[in-house]
Each structure stands twice: as structure tokens, then as C-alpha cells.
Chain A
């Protein structure tokens, strides 16, 4: 049986939703895996709603639709409300508790990550929060190596931001999983 990992990332435009998907997809390509990413968005470039659906597999991916996310990065309360229902008991929702209040009725696990304040404190800018999330996510993704994700960060982000993004990635990787039932 092949392995198929479904990742949903959603938030506002400008939060790096698409960028995280690009890095994951690029890393999957480096690793010799198949990957797809669907992007949905409103007309606004910044501030509007954005969703990336990423699928990674060791065989050709037929449906690129994330129907039952293994991981859901909820970057905003609206995104959380829209897509939390897709997550089954096997799903893990990574969220910022300053923005998202977990639904106690949901069977999926929740992992609270104060990525914005962490990025602000450690790197001087909350803009790196998405890569903190990526680091945290990668610590759970056995099929993607951290080296390939780091290489993808270098490929997909401007060079002058490499150092801080790699530090943000390491910060996320170092977070302990605290799954709330």
C-alpha cells in the first residue's frame, strides 16, 4: 500500500500559506516523491482567504483534493472554522492559540504553537511565523527529510532571508509536540 499524506494550509493572504506549500512540494520533488498543490483564493492578494491543499505520495497522485487532512495548519480563525470539519481522528491541527480557539468536540488532535510571538521574539519579525509552523510540521513528517526541506527553503525564498528562515525552521523543529485531546 502506498503512502499518501494530505496537508491543508489555510489563512489570510500574506501569511505565507502558498509559500509553505511550495516549500513542501519542492522538498518532495527533491526527495523523488510525487506531489500536488491546489491553491484557492479570493480576488485580494493580501488579506483575503487563501488555501493550499498539498498531497505527497510515493506514487502518481490521482485526486489532488485533500479530503481527510493528516495535518491542517490553521493560520486564522476563519480558516479553522471553514475546514476543521474535514479533520478526522487521525488528523493533527497546528494552530496559533492567540488566533484560533480549538473546538472541544473535534476528534482531531490540536497542537498549539505561538508562532507569531515566537518569531517576533527570536527573529524580530512575526513574518517568519509560517516557517516556524513548517518546522513544527516537518518534525512530524517522516517521509520528508529536514535537509530537503532546508534546501527547498533556499530554493523558494530570496537569498537575503535564508538565514532567518532557516532559524525559524529550526525553531519550529525544536518545539515539543503537545497534542491536546
Chain B
């Protein structure tokens, strides 16, 4: 095992390379530029291709094109580029293109603040394109080491489900430096629990089965498959159609191939939930590390406080909120996003609260204070703003 001190951007690059990525197309943006830089250096070393696109929409379209040409592809960006993926993402979903998309969230909306972390794309990552009728896989690393692991995992899930997979990171993960262990052999790679599905090619003529079956390799354009891989609703042979019967079959497949195989996707970490705690803190990404710190501090003070860290965000893991409790989501935004989903999922009789800020992580001391307020049923006002009005 090679032990280094490096950034999340470097970890994501190495994860992609070791997962067999051979095409990166992107457009530089803080705080994900280093991924493009690193990929431009690493891909030629492994016989892959690096392209700088004219914008992010083109970048993802290039990745889609490469993927249906037989390559494993990835792109990386931050919020202002992520929103431009809307068209190409829909194409990837509909044509069932395995591709990996990294978004390092910064402060928004629009260009916002470049070098500071945000978590404003929780819902956008679920609905990165229009029209509905699909399910999305989103993974959220909270450390440099996990950024490596989840990038490898994203490629694995993209191949098995034949769908775009989003790695939803934040500026602290990608720009942050941390101890990073990289496997140096196949055995070490496997011992870390990592798996790779090699790219296989579907010979056709079937474009997709009208079922929830996974592990069907993607079609490669040409090769007499007859699949158009266009922006129209495809028949099971990949021909364009406006027939609503085919639309139903196609949509049901896009939704249920993911919903019916949750066991491959769902991942979460729990802290101190065994004694049915009074307050449960919920977070994903870097804030979850401060949450872990705050939960431990609360336990040292004898408070019954627990924590949940979501590692896979979408499909949302309702089962994690089956306890009746007081939940507090901790997020890097002021408007409250994760909190809405937790409120929807929380067991009857629960109360759900929100702690948010943008651009800067909370301190564990602040979170502990908030927990103490909740335990005393005090309102969570901050600086005169009613933060509970989300």
C-alpha cells in the first residue's frame, strides 16, 4: 500500500484510472480543475484520451459518445458546470450510457464563491435533467480516502446499471488534503473491497430488455445493432418512437432497474444509534465529519445523541429514518435541502430540524449548542433569522 498526503482531486483521479477510465472530457472550474489537470497527465500514461471541451454540456456529450463507443468515461465539474449537464445527462439516462460525473459543490447560486464549500445540489443531482421518468444514483464522499473508493464504486455501478453515476463531493473533499492509501497490487485493491466491472459490449439487436434486469452490457453504436442512441424514446431495438406503450416500458425500466437493486447502492454510516437516542444528527459529505465529532462530544457529556451519515444519497435511504426521534440535518446551505427529504422519510411522531450554513463548516461546539437547545425545546433562531422556516 502506498501511503501519501494528497487531495480529493488526486484521489478521484487515481480512482478513475484504477477503475479503467480511458476518456476524460471536461472544462476547468474551481474546485475541480485539478481533476482535469491530473487526468490530462495520467490518461496518456494508460493509453487513454483527454479532451478539454468548449463547455460542460459538450464535455458530458463527449463522454457519452466515448462511452457508447466502448470507453469508460468521466467528467468533473462544480455547480456552474453541473447545471449545464442537464441535456447530456438526460441523454445518458435515456440511452443507458455508463458514465461517471463528479461534482465538487461550492457556494452558489451561479458562480457564487469559488474556493468555499457548499451543498446546494442535493436535489439537482437527483433531477439533473428534465422530464422525470428516471431514477438516479448519487454517492457522496466525506474524505479523501473515500473519494478514491467511491470513484471506483461509481464506475462499478455505472457499468452494472448502465446509467450515469454522480459522485457528489464538496470543495473540502476535493481541495482538502489528507492521508491517502493507494493499493499497489490487484490483491491490495481487492482487499480494500474494491471491484471493477470491465467494459463489455452488447451485440444487440436488443437495445434494452423491458424489465428491471441489470448486468446487461451497453450497446456500442454501429456494429449492426441498429440502436440509434438518440434523444427520442427508444423501442427495445433502439429505434426512435413516439408510441406511449414503448415510453411506459422504457420509463419503468429506467426507474425500476435502480429501485429494485437497492442492495447494491445503499450505503450509510451510523454513530451511537443503539440506545434510541433523543437527538439524531444527519449529514453527508464533509459536514458529517464535524457531526461525528459533535456526537462524540455529546456522548462524553452523557447526552443521548446519535448520528447518521449518508454515503449514497439517491435513491434516498428512507429506512435510515425509521426511528421516532428528533432529527437535525447539518448542511452547507442556508435554505435546507436534505432536511426536506428527512422530514418526508422520518417515522411518525418525529420532529425534524435544520442547521445550515454556506462556505464554511460548522464547529462541533456550535452543533453541540444546537443539540442542547433541541433537548430543551428551545427555538433554533440564529442572528435573528428563523432558521426553522424551511
Contact = CB atoms under 8 A, between A and B. Distances in A.
Interface in A34-78: 34-43, 61-65, 67
A34 B176 contact: no
B364 A67 contact: yes
Interface residues of A, number: 22
A61 B289 CA distance: 8
Contacts of A62: 289-290, 292-293, 296
Contacts of A21: 177
Given A28-B5, A62-B296, A67-B365, A36 B290 contact: no
A29 interface: yes
Contact of A22 (B3, B175, B177, B292): B177
Contacts of A64: 172, 176, 178, 286, 289, 361
A25 interface: yes
Interface residues of B, number: 26
Interface of A: 21-22, 25-26, 28-29, 34-43, 61-65, 67
A172 B3 CA distance: 28
A43 B179 contact: no
A151 B66 CA distance: 43
Contacts of B362: 65
A32 B149 CA distance: 21
Contacts, number: 72
B3 to A, nearest CB: 6
B3 A29 contact: yes
Secondary structure at chain B's binding surface: helix, strand, loop or mixed?
mixed
Nearest to A35: B179
B115 A35 contact: no
Contact of A43 (B114, B176, B364): B114
Nearest to B288: A62
A22 B5 contact: yes
B5 A35 contact: yes
B282 to A, nearest CB: 16
B351 interface: no
Contacts of B178: 25, 35-37, 64
Interface string B292-322: 1110100000000000000000000000000
Given A22-B5, A25-B177, A62-B289, 12 more contacts: A21-B177, A29-B179, A35-B5, A35-B179, A36-B179, A37-B177, A39-B115, A39-B176, A40-B360, A62-B292, A63-B363, A67-B363
